[in-house]
Amino acid sequence: MSTTEYFADDRRLEHERLMSQSRVFDPLTRRLFDQAGLHEGMRVLDLGSGAGNVALLASEYVGPSGSVVGVERDPEAVEHAQEWCTLSGIENIEFRTGDVQTLDSMTERFDAVVGRLILMYLPDPVDALRRAASLLRPDGILCVHEADMTDWTTADSEHWHTARRWVLDAFERVGTRIRMGPSLYSAFLEAGLPEPRMTLEAEVGGGDQAPVFGWANAVIAAAPLLERLGIATAEQVDAETLTARLTDDMVACNAIVSSPLMYGAYCRV
């Protein structure tokens, strides 16, 4: 089945990037899970599990009497996530290689299906939601967290404007849905699901609280793609100094920087 090109192709680096990005997004996802009603003893499916951070969050909610399955199409990511869980002594998560657009290896049913920053990479997120919902037990929870990549605050400087343009150009050129967050409501309805409850949050701050590393890491992870698409060369990205340049600009004008706006949507099916 066709799928959009993922913007980061070095999987070892991407594992590190997702681990550090989760510092920004996990508190937001935790509040979403609280509202959606994840609880002890549930069996949860995590769509597009990447480095495993959302699966880990879910595993804390379900506890030892529950369990989590993470599905991820990249076998290297699955291997890293499984390795990390084993080393951390986490026993209630299993990662599987698979495509969330088909979920054809899934025969069992779940109490909740969750996913963060995954629908944005799918050509048909409505169909993916429909398939995910079909794996739920009666009264199961469907809960997703997606971004509006166009809506975030940066410092007003050349470096920040360029970094923002690079990220958006690269995502758009490979067909990523950069405004998946605001489309969640209609996607649920088009999938024939009940009207979702919605949440909206972002991480924001200046100085040490600003999620500068998140944006710098996204540009660095996308550097090979930026070069391939003719958007920016490795020299222009200058990965070694990017974080420092972005931080210096922000500090110089007492600016704040935010994460993208994160939209949560959940319903019982």
CA angle 9, 13, 17 (to 5 degrees): 105
What is the contact mask toward ligand SAM in residues 83 to 122, using x (rule: CB under 6 A)? ----------------xxx--------------xxx--xx
How near is the Cβ of 156 to ligand SAM at its closest, in Å? 27
How near is the Cβ of 159 to ligand SAM at its closest, in Å? 24
How near is the Cβ of 103 to ligand SAM at its closest, in Å? 9
How near is the Cβ of 226 to ligand SAM at its closest, in Å? 17
Nearer to ligand SAM, 3 or 153 (CB): 3
Query: For residues 8 and 220, what is the distance between their CA atoms, to the nearest angstrom?
Result: 9
Non-local CB neighbours of 241 within 8 Å, separated by 6+ positions? none
Report strand pairing: 67-72 vs 43-47: parallel
Helix (H, G, I), strand (E, B) or coil at 267: strand
Binding to ligand SAM by residue 214, rule CB under 6 A? no
Helices (H), the chain: 11-36, 53-62, 75-87, 125-134, 158-173, 180-190, 212-228, 234-237, 239-252
Nearer to ligand SAM, 50 or 196 (CB): 50
Using CB under 6 A as the criterion, which residues of the chain lie in contact with ligand SAM when the complex forms?
Answer: 3, 6, 18, 22, 48-51, 53-54, 71-74, 77, 99-101, 116-118, 121-122
